[in-house]
Amino acid sequence: MRIVTLVAVLAMPALPALAGERLRIRVSPETSFAPANLVVQAVIESDDDNRSLEVIAESTEFYRSSEIPLDGHRAPRLTVFELRSLPSGEYEVRAVLKGAGNQTRAVTRESVRVISERDGS
Domain assignment of residue 120, yes or no: no
Burial 66-95 (b: 16+ CB within 10 A, else e): eeeebeeeebeeebbbebeebebbebebbb
Measure the CA–CA gap between 14 and 107, rounded to whole angstroms: 21
What confidence category does residue 36 fall into, taking pLDDT thresholds of 50, 70 and 90? very high
Tally of domains within the chain = 1
Q: What is the pLDDT of residues 45-79, one digit of tens each?
A: 999 999 999 999 999 999 999 999 999 999 999 99
Backbone angles phi, psi at 6, to 5 degrees: -65, -45
Domain presence at residue 121 = no
Tell whether 17 is covered by a domain: yes
Nearest to 24 by CA among 111, 86, 109, 100: 109
Give the domain range for residue 12.
2-115
pTM, full prediction: 0.80
Give which of 83, 84, 103, 107 is closest to 95, Cα–Cα: 107
Can you give the pLDDT at residue 67? 97
